[in-house]
Amino acid sequence: MLFIVIHQAYELWFKQLHHEVDSIVAIMGKPALNDNSPELQTVVHRLNRCVTILRVLVHQIDIMETMTPMDFLDFRDMLRPASGFQSWQFKELEAKLGLKFETRHGQEYYTSQLKPHHVDIIKKAEAGHSLLQLLNSWLERTPFFDEQPNWNDFTSHEPLDGVHPFWSEYRYQFQQSLAEAEKGNLAAFDQLFLAKENKPQGLTLSAAANRAALFIMLYRGYPLLQLPFQLLNALLEIDEQLSSWRYRHMNMVHRMIGTRIGTGGSTGKDYLKAAADKHYIFREIAQLNSFLIERRRLPVLPQAVQQRLGFTAA
Amino acid sequence: MLFIVIHQAYELWFKQLHHEVDSIVAIMGKPALNDNSPELQTVVHRLNRCVTILRVLVHQIDIMETMTPMDFLDFRDMLRPASGFQSWQFKELEAKLGLKFETRHGQEYYTSQLKPHHVDIIKKAEAGHSLLQLLNSWLERTPFFDEQPNWNDFTSHEPLDGVHPFWSEYRYQFQQSLAEAEKGNLAAFDQLFLAKENKPQGLTLSAAANRAALFIMLYRGYPLLQLPFQLLNALLEIDEQLSSWRYRHMNMVHRMIGTRIGTGGSTGKDYLKAAADKHYIFREIAQLNSFLIERRRLPVLPQAVQQRLGFTAA
Amino acid sequence: MLFIVIHQAYELWFKQLHHEVDSIVAIMGKPALNDNSPELQTVVHRLNRCVTILRVLVHQIDIMETMTPMDFLDFRDMLRPASGFQSWQFKELEAKLGLKFETRHGQEYYTSQLKPHHVDIIKKAEAGHSLLQLLNSWLERTPFFDEQPNWNDFTSHEPLDGVHPFWSEYRYQFQQSLAEAEKGNLAAFDQLFLAKENKPQGLTLSAAANRAALFIMLYRGYPLLQLPFQLLNALLEIDEQLSSWRYRHMNMVHRMIGTRIGTGGSTGKDYLKAAADKHYIFREIAQLNSFLIERRRLPVLPQAVQQRLGFTAA
Amino acid sequence: MLFIVIHQAYELWFKQLHHEVDSIVAIMGKPALNDNSPELQTVVHRLNRCVTILRVLVHQIDIMETMTPMDFLDFRDMLRPASGFQSWQFKELEAKLGLKFETRHGQEYYTSQLKPHHVDIIKKAEAGHSLLQLLNSWLERTPFFDEQPNWNDFTSHEPLDGVHPFWSEYRYQFQQSLAEAEKGNLAAFDQLFLAKENKPQGLTLSAAANRAALFIMLYRGYPLLQLPFQLLNALLEIDEQLSSWRYRHMNMVHRMIGTRIGTGGSTGKDYLKAAADKHYIFREIAQLNSFLIERRRLPVLPQAVQQRLGFTAA
């Protein structure tokens, strides 16, 4: 009884999460978001609701843990191989957010655990526009750097060919801020933010999108960037809650069945552990923190850009 | 959508809570519980599971709070008068635990908000053996004081007529422990623990049951009393979580609709606030703490009683 | 040992809370806040940090609850009358936020429990500019309604003499939205939002401030109002966490000493319960929800005002 | 200011944790614990208090996360190399619980980050009797299997030479319960529970101790085994909270400084991640779940043993 109720409760909340993510994807999929409309605010609000729901889902594991391992063992036999741990709805959600099959840990094991028509549903979700892709497009549309006249007075300590003066300067300051042992980080900077190719191997965001995201983090104090910053932050929160869920789930399984073979026919913990580590969806956003600099080094923006980032009459 | 999913999730967990409480009532309703069987342990385990579920229910209010007041207002009109706030399943649960109609706050308002056949279900639950009643019977069956030979060597500083020597002594020590301004508490002690009548007006436990419960709290260090103590504690936790639920629910309603008339047709907050204060079910157990004494005053039990409370061969 | 460590931990966090509140008061006390500067963002960020700290303080009560009532009883005698429950630092914090002596529950009891020089510190905090007062001034400075040309095209269904057309119209729509049993709320509306006197008896915000706050809640979707809305929300969160703290503290005391006289020489729970109910500091902000209307009734703002609330070039 | 207050709060609670663990070690270090005395109950109570304190410590990370990465970066320079992340008090606590230097991840890095006299304190803690060692001795003293007459009537399906009939039978039932792919687990069973040598390489509990612990988990329903079971459970909770702490700490550091070199001069996250995985102290207790069997296979204990595990007169 308890086992069934818990799973129904999870399915219910997954349904709601799908509903929220679908509506977010619909808004983010528009060719342009009007900064003065409440659209972006709606996106942030709904992402934060997803975070709240995920927190409750993580907490619900407490209830599952009131089952004793021996209760669980009796149960295991009844379930195999359609495992309760392999919720296709959860995987479909991951796919909508942006997790690709290629990135998943244990690909064969993963499909072998699901019914074919569930695999189809997940593949279909992967084929659509994921939130990660739409985020990439939205970030790429950021207009500030293309408005050349605004940057006329801005000079860099070390201008680089074919690089916007702001980013030449930022790269210079970043280099200055590196400790001896960190010097290698400059190559990573160049790959993430200055790559010429569209998307370097293994990355999910383009250099232009990464630049926009870093700019948002750096200058979040300006009115126009506050909501975009909250959006990036909400995405990181979602990743963190998904990760907490996988992690607590993993510990729970370990407590219940130890290294016994899971209801899915393979060692649950090993699989879940590897998955918990690899399945960060917005990890490039999370990595941006590696490229921040001390506040005192932060380039002062030209007046025209500052005005651009502010309110009309204030 | 969100509103509906939240309510389905609540109904699901209420169903599980009923399942747990029914099974607990079934065990507690047996003519005798064998201390060496795992029955009592099962009761405690399931009560603790109820606490865990209630904690998740309280947490779920966070999700409801992601709705803005104006969203809620639109919704309110659709719901009246079958109010979402008046879950009959919750009330049935309160009834099974031991809350009586006479004790409920706002009795008329309360019934006017429910459909007649739901009122019937709740009345039926009230008519059955509640957990509170079964607790009373179980406590009354406590055998230690009736085993007279064990107490032969025990003497009281102030023997009272018709009162067991242990309780004469405990009353004496309690009186000594009272500060000047607390002297009035002695009358309350006599009413709760030494009343001759079966159950004094307004009380839900008999004097014999109250004595047993206090004894359990005082001597919980002895092996035989450990599980009984955990049982009492779990009941207090349930009351506390029910109270948290009513309290957070009340604040949420207040945030959402202020002093607007609730979906039930009357000011939600005032009703809920009064209910939150009055609906403690095991409040006599909670009050026992008023009658504890300092550890150094605690009467030493006779060897025979101590042995009675211990393990066979240890 | 545990008791002492808990109290040191509380004092530590109170010190940090004072530090945060002082810095917030310093910013809010400036003659004007520039909407394009990060000042308001700093205020919101620090208020939210206060909320986070208060949440941990509430959680810390769990640790205190690991003491058994009898441990506590032994302890009680050592403490009286300088009671651990009567933290003057907590009271000083309440005073800085805006709680006045006149509003406190049990005024005599309250001062009798504190050392004279602590009372002086609290009185001094009350005498300064509280966050509540600064909030009132900041709200009163809201400029939109005074910019008359922007409202030229706006007409009300029921113009009122000496009342801004927007508020005439809003009052009309509010009246339409009231259910039969709610008609009395109109008088409350007039008192809170249209009063001519500066601050009607018993209120802590002026009519102008209340109007600004309601406007922020209604039109929070516009960029310029997003941070102000988050500020109001953070204040409500602070009140809610303070209330949770008082509530859980109250339950803990009740669990520990029942109706025994508290370490302060009077029944702890009764005092704390009344205090928990009366000490909401930003309660007029909380009450604004009573005066919202359905989204479909919300007056459409003139183009000029909408532009005023948006970004420069977007 | 915030950074300092947070660290003072952590030091305060670490001090309390040391106080609790020292008192637990003192009790567990006695040559024998009387099952009828409250000693074991005190141990369990204090272990659970440690769990409660650790939970608050985990929650406190929320406060640290209200610092922005750029705030943190400014700070980092001031701290190096005496890193705030390398609390020697935390490491001393791990040592008292039973973590050995050899087991620690990144041994060189680890000592290079601490001041020599702190390393000495930790080494001293490692040299003393750890809780893990005392647990091993306490489990080894379990008397039930040595009381031969009690087992006269007990027969095994597959008696093994030099193995107690109960464990011969349990091994048989365990073997029956293994799925095809799990057959390899039998070798692990033999190594953990039937090894002749004192402590097989890499293990921290002897075979006799492991047998006692598994017996406690299997027959926890019997009165005498309830507290021992709660003790094992509390140890697992402590490991889980320590793990949560390392995990959230790791995520927080990652959020703050990305892959920048930590205040300790090396990549914080990589170190912390590996540490979080390797530092489970009571992992052999956690692994016992791998060796449970379905309830229906559980050997019925002889009457004499059942009586031995029960209350005197019940």
In order of B16, B194, B241, C139, C168, the CA distances from C151 in angstroms are 57, 76, 52, 20, 13
Farthest-apart Cα atoms in chain A, separation: 73
List the single best residue of C27, C33, C35, C36 to mutate versus A (max A Cβ within 10 A).
C36
> pLDDT value at position B291?
92
Averaged pLDDT, A5-32? 93
Q: Which chains touch B (3 or more CB pairs under 8 A)?
A: A, C, D
Token look-up 């002026």 returns C206
Q: Which residue has the higher pLDDT, A293 or A73?
A: A293
Q: Is D287 on the interface with A (CB under 8 A)?
A: yes
CB contact under 8 A, B224 and D222: no
Q: How far is B257 from chain C (nearest CA, A)?
A: 6
> pLDDT value at position A186?
93
Residue C111's Cα: distance from chain center in Å? Answer: 23
> Sign of the CA dihedral A231, A224, C289, C247?
positive
Q: Is C300 on the interface with A (CB under 8 A)?
A: no
Cross-strand partners of B257: none
Contact between D46 and D19 under an 8 Å Cβ cutoff? The reply is: no
| Residue D41 with chain B: CB contacts under 8 Å | 221, 226
* Cα torsion through D65, D67, D70, D76, rounded to 10: -90
B142, burial (CB in 10 Å: exposed 0-12, middle 13-18, buried 19+): middle
Q: Is C203 left (phi over 0), alpha (psi -120 to 50) or beta?
A: beta
Can you count the helices (H) and strands (E) in chain B? 14, 0
B184, burial (CB in 10 Å: exposed 0-12, middle 13-18, buried 19+): exposed
Nearest to D59 among C45, C49, C56 (CB): C56
Query: Within the 105-144 window of chain A, which residues sit less than 8 Å (CB to CB) from chain D?
Result: none
3-state SS of chain A? CHHHHHHHHHHHHHHHHHHHHHHHHHHHCCCCCCCCCCHHHHHHHHHHHHHHHHHHHHHHHHHHCCCCHHHHHHHHHHHCCCCCCCCHHHHHHHHHHCCCHHHCCCHHHHHHCCCHHHHHHHHHHHHCCCHHHHHHHHHHCCCHHHCHHHHCCCCCCCCCCCCCHHHHHHHHHHHHHCCHHHCCHHHHHHHHHCCCCCCCCCCCCCHHHHHHHHHHHHCCCCHHHHHHHHHHHHHHHHHHHHHHHHHHHHHHHHHHHCCCECCCCCEHHHHHHHHHHHCCCCHHHHHHHHHCCCHHHCCCCCHHHHHHCCECCC
Q: How far is D219 from chain C (nearest CA, A)?
A: 28
* For residue A233, pLDDT beyond 90: yes
Query: Within the 206-225 window of chain B, which residues sit less than 8 Å (CB to CB) from chain D?
Result: 221-224
Contact between A216 and A225 under an 8 Å Cβ cutoff? The reply is: yes
> pLDDT value at position A119?
86
CB contact under 8 A, B69 and C287: no
How far apart are alpha carbons A216 and C207 in whole angstroms? 38
What letter represents residue D69's amino acid? Answer: P
List pLDDT tens digits, range D118-132.
Answer: 888 899 999 889 999
Q: Is C66 on the interface with D (CB under 8 A)?
A: yes
CB contact under 8 A, D289 and A256: yes
Residue C153's Cα: distance from chain center in Å? Answer: 36
Q: How far is D225 from chain C (nearest CA, A)?
A: 23
Q: Kindly indicate the confidence band of residue A248, based on its pLDDT and cuts at 50, 70 and 90.
A: confident
> pLDDT value at position D267?
47
> pLDDT value at position D22?
97
Give exposure, D264-299, as e/b (b: 16+ Cβ within 10 Å). beebbbebbbebbeebbbbebbbbbbbbbbbeebeb
Token output for B114: 């429910």
How far apart are alpha carbons B191 and B199 in whole angstroms? 10
Cross-strand partners of B267: B261
CB contact under 8 A, B314 and D36: yes
Write C269-273 long-range contacts (CB < 8 A, 24+).
C271/C105, C271/C106, C271/C109, C272/C85, C272/C246
Q: Which chains touch D (3 or more CB pairs under 8 A)?
A: A, B, C
List the single best residue of A3, A11, A13 to mutate versus B (max B Cβ within 10 A).
A13
Cross-strand partners of B261: B267
List the single best residue of A2, A13, A66, A67 to mutate versus B (max B Cβ within 10 A).
A66
| Residue B59 with chain A: CB contacts under 8 Å | 55-56, 59
List pLDDT tens digits, range A144-153.
Answer: 999 999 999 8
Token output for D290: 């791998």
> pLDDT value at position B274?
63
Q: How far is A16 from chain B (nearest CA, A)?
A: 7
Residue of D nearest to C58 (CA): D56
Q: Is A87 on the interface with D (CB under 8 A)?
A: no
Q: Strand locations in chain C, DSSP E?
A: none
Q: How far apart are the first and last CA of chain D?
A: 60
Read off φ and ψ for residue B161, nearest 5 degrees: -65, 130
Q: What angle do CA D237, D238, D239 make, to 5 degrees?
A: 90
Nearest to A312 among C221, C227, C311 (CB): C311
> pLDDT value at position A276?
61
Q: Is C291 on the interface with B (CB under 8 A)?
A: yes
Q: Is A254 on the interface with D (CB under 8 A)?
A: yes
Q: Is C55 on the interface with B (CB under 8 A)?
A: no
DSSP C301: P
Q: Which chains touch A (3 or more CB pairs under 8 A)?
A: B, C, D
Q: Which residue has the higher pLDDT, B42 or D254?
A: B42
> pLDDT value at position A263?
42
In order of A178, B150, D67, D72, the CA distances from A295 in angstroms are 14, 77, 13, 10
ipTM of the complex: 0.84
Nearest Cα to Cα of residue C63 among D55, B235, D25, D63: D55
> pLDDT value at position A97?
96
- What percentage of chain A carries pLDDT values higher than 90? 46
Contact between C48 and D66 under an 8 Å Cβ cutoff? The reply is: yes
Nearest to B16 among A5, A15, A55 (CB): A5
Q: What angle do CA A42, A45, A51 make, to 5 degrees?
A: 145
Residue of A nearest to C43 (CA): A221
Residue of B nearest to C76 (CA): B294
DSSP C13: H
* For residue A92, pLDDT beyond 60: yes
| Residue C49 with chain D: CB contacts under 8 Å | 2, 63, 66
Q: How far is A250 from chain B (nearest CA, A)?
A: 20
List pLDDT tens digits, range D199-227.
Answer: 777 788 999 999 999 999 999 888 889 89
CB contact under 8 A, D295 and A70: yes
List the single best residue of A289, A296, A297 to mutate versus D (max D Cβ within 10 A).
A289
Q: Kindly indicate the confidence band of residue D60, based on its pLDDT and cuts at 50, 70 and 90.
A: very high
* For residue A260, pLDDT beyond 70: no
Residue D168's Cα: distance from chain center in Å? Answer: 28
How far apart are alpha carbons D163 and D171 in whole angstroms? 10
List the single best residue of B216, B309, B311 to mutate versus D (max D Cβ within 10 A).
B311
Token output for C220: 């929070």
Nearest to B261 among C181, C243, C266 (CB): C181
Residue C233's Cα: distance from chain center in Å? Answer: 9
| Residue D257 with chain A: CB contacts under 8 Å | 289-290
Q: Which residues of chain C have pLDDT under 50?
A: 80-85, 262-268, 314
Token look-up 């940057």 returns A151
Token output for C132: 């509540």
Q: How far is B6 from chain A (nearest CA, A)?
A: 8
List the single best residue of B259, B272, B283, B284 to mutate versus C (max C Cβ within 10 A).
B259
Residue of C nearest to D67 (CA): C49
How far apart are alpha carbons B13 and B283 in whole angstroms? 25
- Chains A and D form CB pairs within 8 A to the count of 93
CB contact under 8 A, C294 and B77: yes
| Residue A56 with chain B: CB contacts under 8 Å | 56, 59-60, 62-63
CB contact under 8 A, A45 and B60: no
Q: Is B187 on the interface with D (CB under 8 A)?
A: no
How far apart are alpha carbons D242 and D158 in whole angstroms? 42
> pLDDT value at position D264?
41
Q: How far is B26 from chain C (nearest CA, A)?
A: 29
Contact between C266 and C247 under an 8 Å Cβ cutoff? The reply is: no
Q: Is C176 on the interface with B (CB under 8 A)?
A: no
Token look-up 């703290």 returns C245
Print pLDDT tens along chain B (314 aa).
Answer: 888 899 899 999 999 999 999 999 999 999 888 777 778 889 999 999 999 999 999 999 999 888 887 777 776 655 544 444 457 888 899 999 998 877 776 666 666 767 888 888 899 999 889 999 999 999 999 989 999 999 998 999 999 999 999 999 999 999 998 888 788 889 999 999 999 877 777 788 999 999 999 999 999 888 889 899 999 999 999 998 998 888 787 777 777 776 665 444 444 455 556 666 678 899 889 889 889 998 889 999 999 999 888 876 54
D75, burial (CB in 10 Å: exposed 0-12, middle 13-18, buried 19+): middle
CB contact under 8 A, D12 and C2: no
A117, burial (CB in 10 Å: exposed 0-12, middle 13-18, buried 19+): exposed
CB contact under 8 A, D221 and B308: no
How far apart are alpha carbons C272 and A133 in whole angstroms? 54
For C302, other C-beta atoms within 10 Å of its C-beta total: 16
Identify the helix (H) or strand (E) that includes residue B197.
none
> pLDDT value at position B267?
47
Q: Is C63 on the interface with D (CB under 8 A)?
A: yes
